Amino acid sequence: MADQTLDAKGLQCPLPVLRARKALKTVPPGSTLTVEATDPSAPKDFAAFCEATGNRLASSVEEGGVFRFVIERNA
């Protein structure tokens, strides 16, 4: 499903978003980055990050205390 995956579990704000920003630079436009995080503020942080950067938040789910975000890089 994802072209790249980033494990940000155990990291607190703002590190998951900062690491995702860096990882997205290596993702080709139209491809995806899946981020797994445990920070409770991650859902709102990633929604705001995608809105600010123009990337698409393709999905955001929580399972067993782990949030999984699929971000599609804009062109």
- Among residues 2, 11, 13, 58, which one is catalytic? 13
50 catalytic? Reply is: no
SS3 content of the chain, % helix, strand, coil (to 5): 30, 35, 35
Enzyme catalytic residues: 13
